[in-house]
Amino acid sequence: MRIGLLLMVLMMAFAACRSTKQITTVIAKKDSAVVVVNPAESDSAKTVRATLDKIRGKKISFTTFSSKVKVEYSDDQNRRFDFNAFVRMKKDSAIWISIIAALNIEAFRVMITPDSIVIMDKINRTIQRKPLFYLQEITKVPFDYNTLEDLIVGNPVYLDKTIIAYADQGEKLSMSTIGQAFKHYLTVSKTDLNLLFSKLDDVDITRSRTANLAYGEYIAAGPWMFAGTRDISLSEKTKLDIKLDFKQVEFEKPMGFPFSIPKNFKVIN
């Protein structure tokens, strides 16, 4: 599998998809009691904004994070890949990824910092250095380093201030926001505001990108509730599905980020 694809899987790239739908239409199909939010300071608008503030308040804040991730990949060209990855992060500093191939052999080691990415291909004995913008190129998604951290730990992303619709669905709450890049439809549990579903549509209908993400199997990890499973569906000209199963999740533990480069590795562009 190409390293670009591996990184796209692990970074949960919100790239792709079929025709864009109006998010208010998606909500309306799920529940008829939709509140269309306008700029007026109505009680409904205040309630919706307060709920969004509470969702933001549940954001996982960490210094260090580590986990083992089982990855299952499939696409509409009948390609299937299963592999394990180990992920370590130090907030605002480094994201370290070790990708394990067949026979428990480490195939890739990746180091991402706020301004660069270094890819060590241990099978072909090569080193590739890229600016962080490289991830935007291979995933076709605008994000920065902090957004990348949020994607990995399961924090909601692209929660823009402009809310266009809101729906109370009994045990769930759904709302729609719109920003420069995406229309975002998200669903949370009413009792604990844990993220359950996130749908992103490109605001540029000529791009026709959509991503669907389902979050489940929440576990206690330190003071946080962490989504242990993620089901991701991406499609544009092609469609792919990714399942992520997080194990051995730890926050605030001392950890190293080993990344010594052997002298006989070849540097490639």
Domain residue ranges in the chain: 3-248
User: Is there a contact between 209 and 202 (Cβ–Cβ < 8 Å)?
Assistant: yes
Each residue's pLDDT tens digit, 157-195: 877 767 888 888 889 988 888 877 778 888 999 999 999
Tell me the mean pLDDT in the region 211-233.
91
Each residue's pLDDT tens digit, 38-74: 555 566 677 788 888 888 888 999 999 999 999 888 8
Distance between first and last Cα of the chain: 18
**Alpha carbons 184 and 34: distance in angstroms, whole number:** 16
Each residue's pLDDT tens digit, 8-23: 455 433 333 333 333 3
- Residue 269 binned pLDDT confidence (cut-offs 50, 70, 90): confident
What is the pLDDT, as a whole number, of residue 37?
A: 52
Tell me the mean pLDDT in the region 191-208.
83
Annotation: CATH topology of 3-248: outer membrane lipoprotein receptor (LolB), chain A (2.50.20)
What is the pLDDT, as a whole number, of residue 204?
A: 73
- Residue 125 binned pLDDT confidence (cut-offs 50, 70, 90): very high
What is the pLDDT, as a whole number, of residue 180?
A: 75
Identify the residue with better confidence: 31 or 141: 141
Strand segments, DSSP code E, in 63-209 are 64-75, 80-90, 94-100, 106-113, 116-121, 126-131, 163-168, 172-178, 182-189, 195-202
Tokens 């991503």 belong to residue = 211
Q: Which of 262, 168, 264, 158 is nearest to 213 (CA)?
A: 158
What is the pLDDT, as a whole number, of residue 12?
A: 38
User: Is there a contact between 128 and 269 (Cβ–Cβ < 8 Å)?
Assistant: yes
Tokens 């975002």 belong to residue = 184
- Whether the pLDDT of residue 249 is over 50: the answer is yes
**Alpha carbons 155 and 194: distance in angstroms, whole number:** 10
